[in-house]
Structure 1
Amino acid sequence: MNEIGRFGLWISGRHWPAGPAAIAEAAAEIEALGYGSVWIGSSPADDLALPEAVLAATTRLVVGTSIVDIWRSDPKTLSAATARLRSAFPGRFYLGLGMGHAPAVEATGRQYVRPLSKLRAFLADLVDVPAEERLLAALGPKALELASTSAAGALPYLVPAAHTADARRILGPDNLLIPEQKIFLGSDPATARTVGRRGTAIYLNLPNYTNNLRRYGLTDDDFAGEGSDRWVNTLVAWGDDEMVRARVEEHFTAGADHVALQVLSANPAPQLPMPEIRAAARIFLS
């Protein structure tokens, strides 16, 4: 696998531009800024068309999914797409997989039961995807244990640095640990919390996340409404440049190999926040 350095970007699939030329232009600039990886979120399709477009526009950038939802995906389609990317872009793609969330699964009329068993079975069906080229969106101890034995490591999402320390202990010293961290480059508390709530409110009704965060001191009071100040402060690194950099460094101190930065913007439009991505590059990559 290509060297990915310390910092990458987590970007929702919904925020990428629609046209192939615009995707290519953005991907090329992200690579030129010095980021080592891009992680495409919001359950990218199992044909892996968007990761392929980003890979095709770059020469060294490592691209991963964060994550493909196993409830919405076909393992044969996913295996074939992964093989296509591995052949065209050797050493530059990680298949990130996850168990999804009960509300989304149940909205389709299915029951969200035994998700970890579902993930194990899905992994068994990915016969053409080597374990060293896949990562799991593991939060709890059992999922992290599975990531340590059946994948190259873990992609924890929406976690504080204390979770990173626990994940490293469970994964052991050799597996990859790549947490996502939301950042907002701004010191005004009201603005930062408004932006932070906009970027995190969707997760308040997803028990996989809230149950995990209870392990780190958050309570029902923090999950009420649009989330408490403590909810935002736990999940979003905000402040001046030094404050944000120090918060991100906590993940490395706790054992992370790489951090996927999700750069939040004060602009509420669902678009690629390139001005903020450039500003973050000056802080983390200069």
Structure 2
Amino acid sequence: MSNNIAGVLFPTDNLSLQQVVSFAKQIEEMDYQSLWIPEFFGRDQVALSALLLGETSKIKVATGISNIYTKDAMAMAQASHTLNEIFPSRFNLGLGVSHSIGAKMRGHEWENPIRKMKKYLLDLFLARDNLPNPKDKSPVYVAAHGEEMIKMSGKLADGINTYLMPTEHTSYAREMIGESKTLTVVLPCCLCSNSDQARSTARRSLSIYFPLEAYRKAWIKWGFRNDMRNGGSDRLIDSLVAWGDETSIARRMKEYIDSGADQIILLPYNADSNEQFPIELLGAFGSRLEK
């Protein structure tokens, strides 16, 4: 199980740069393999990745994920190429179409997600192949939940990332991409054995996703049609978020691995609002990693 915990995803926009760097160093000292940086409306992911790679020595930094409406494929190819020249084999590129609201806020027209991502990947790979000295190429992972996106990404990218999906979806995705591509599950985790407190923490964190059509359609597909009211039923929350003591969370991780995931990216939820970083949770699973 320890080998399957690949890294940590943590939002950093509300932290100072000093705090972000300190957090990255702590994650590295705990022997996590990678730190994934989500993209909202704060710092630029590539610029922040460069800073964190420079301030650490071995941990990989990844965009988790980068909205393909924010940078064209050639610009992203140049960015990842540059980071790999400076920090060989330490930058991973996570990409996604995000949601229509994200495209429109940036002044773009929302396009068919499958066609948009396919063209982006092909343009990205073409641009990379024509850059000077294309020795080391960042692995590319695509956020994929629906059947068509999973199949297309499984053919073109190095792997797919899934998020807020039940274990049944993991089995479904593995069957479609085959054994040769990497299947990564981003799993929200909350080290809290009080069911009311853990679920309340999860509902607060997940509230931004309930209005998004893509997630709602996916949850309906997996049997949660009547579970999305009032912040999500206990059944839905328990299916999407691993909570409880260390043993309970490890058991949920194993369920995803047994369902076909290659690795888990841990997204820590903090049940203690007074604690800035969920260090207890990260330390508990960092101690399980092979040194």
Distance 2:289 2:270 in 1: 17
Alignment of 1:78-97 (within 5 A): 78-97=76-95
Q: 1:271 to 1:137 in 2, by over 3 A?
A: farther
2:148 is matched by which residue type in structure 1? K
Asked if the contact 1:69–1:99 (Cα under 8 Å) also holds between the matched residues in 2, the reply is yes
Alignment partner, residue 281 of structure 2: 276
Distance 1:13 1:129 in 2: 29
Deviation readout 1:203-251 (Å, 9 max, x if unpaired)? 10111112112222111x3122322212211111111221111001111
Alignment match of 2:261 (pick from 248, 256, 266): 256
Alignment partner, residue 174 of structure 1: 180
Alignment of 1:3-152 (within 5 A): 5-7=3-5, 8-14=7-13, 17-19=15-17, 21-43=18-40, 48-108=46-106, 110-126=108-124, 127-129=126-128, 133-152=139-158
Q: 1:57 to 1:186 in 2, by over 3 A?
A: same
Deviation at 1:109, TM superposition (A): 5.3
Distance 2:55 2:87 in 1: 11
Alignment match of 1:199 (pick from 192, 196, 205): 205
Deviation readout 1:64-99 (Å, 9 max, x if unpaired)? 111100122232322221111111111121111101
Deviation at 1:125, TM superposition (A): 2.2
Q: 1:45 to 1:75 in 2, by over 3 A?
A: farther
Deviation at 1:268, TM superposition (A): 4.2
Distance 2:288 2:83 in 1: 32
Deviation at 1:116, TM superposition (A): 1.3
How many residues were matched structurally?
A: 280
Distance 1:129 1:248 in 2: 35
Deviation readout 1:117-169 (Å, 9 max, x if unpaired)? 11112222213447872110011111111111111010111112211111111
Distance 2:281 2:184 in 1: 21
Runs of 5+ unmatched residues, structure 1: none
Distance 1:63 1:5 in 2: 18
Asked if the contact 1:201–1:226 (Cα under 8 Å) also holds between the matched residues in 2, the reply is yes
Distance 1:83 1:42 in 2: 20
Deviation at 1:194, TM superposition (A): 0.6
SS at match of 2:267: strand
SS at match of 1:162: helix
- Which segment is superposed worse, 170-179 or 4-13? 4-13
Deviation at 1:54, TM superposition (A): 2.1
SS at match of 2:215: helix
C-alpha RMSD of matched pairs (Å): 2.4
Pair 1:217 & 2:223 matched:
yes
Asked if the contact 2:12–2:20 (Cα under 8 Å) also holds between the matched residues in 1, the reply is no
SS at match of 2:211: coil
TM-score relative to the length of structure 1:
0.89
1:14 is matched by which residue type in structure 2? D
Distance 1:151 1:190 in 2: 40
Deviation at 1:276, TM superposition (A): 3.4
Distance 2:138 2:174 in 1: 17
SS at match of 2:165: coil
- Which segment is superposed worse, 134-143 or 21-30? 21-30
Pair 1:247 & 2:252 matched:
yes
SS at match of 1:202: coil
Deviation at 1:106, TM superposition (A): 3.6
Runs of 5+ unmatched residues, structure 2: 130-136
- Which segment is superposed worse, 275-284 or 223-232? 275-284
